[in-house]
Structure 1
Amino acid sequence: SIHGEHAPRGGNRQLKRAMFLSAFAALHDPASRTYYDRCRVRGKTHTQALLRLARQRISVLFAMLRDGTFYEPRTPRLA
């Protein structure tokens, strides 16, 4: 592509869509919004910031499954 970016084509399409929509909905959560805004300040586009947020949420979900715990939100760090 022109800007050196391309959509990831591998993996489960439905799962990727669900995680992207989950990240978009998570923008209402203060901690997720802080992470998204921090990515934007660092020069990431809207889509790149959402994908980073989705990846972060996947990491949290995996840790919850691995440890058998429930989600406990942390207070957001200020930039």
Structure 2
Amino acid sequence: MEMWYCRVCGLDYDVSPWGEDGHTPDYTCCACCGAQFGIDDYNVVTAQLFRATWLTEGAPWFYANLKPSGWQLAAQLPQIPLAYQ
């Protein structure tokens, strides 16, 4: 199964919120950083700005109840697609 990674925080997903064509966002929010797909990750600049704010705020989980035990931010950030780093 191919994984998709949030353009803002690198959280892995089984299915892309950008649709099968990679261009049609579903406008849901990342469970980790809260970025709204299609808005906050629309391009490199918006993704980088959202990430900077999220990190400044301490990288809180948007859906805290979904945060895995032992979660490591440093392990997740490298999963951000290169084009959006």
Give the alignment's TM-score, normalised by structure 1: 0.31
Larger radius of gyration: 1
Between Structure 1 and Structure 2, which shows a larger proportion of strand residues?
2
Give the alignment's TM-score, normalised by structure 2: 0.29
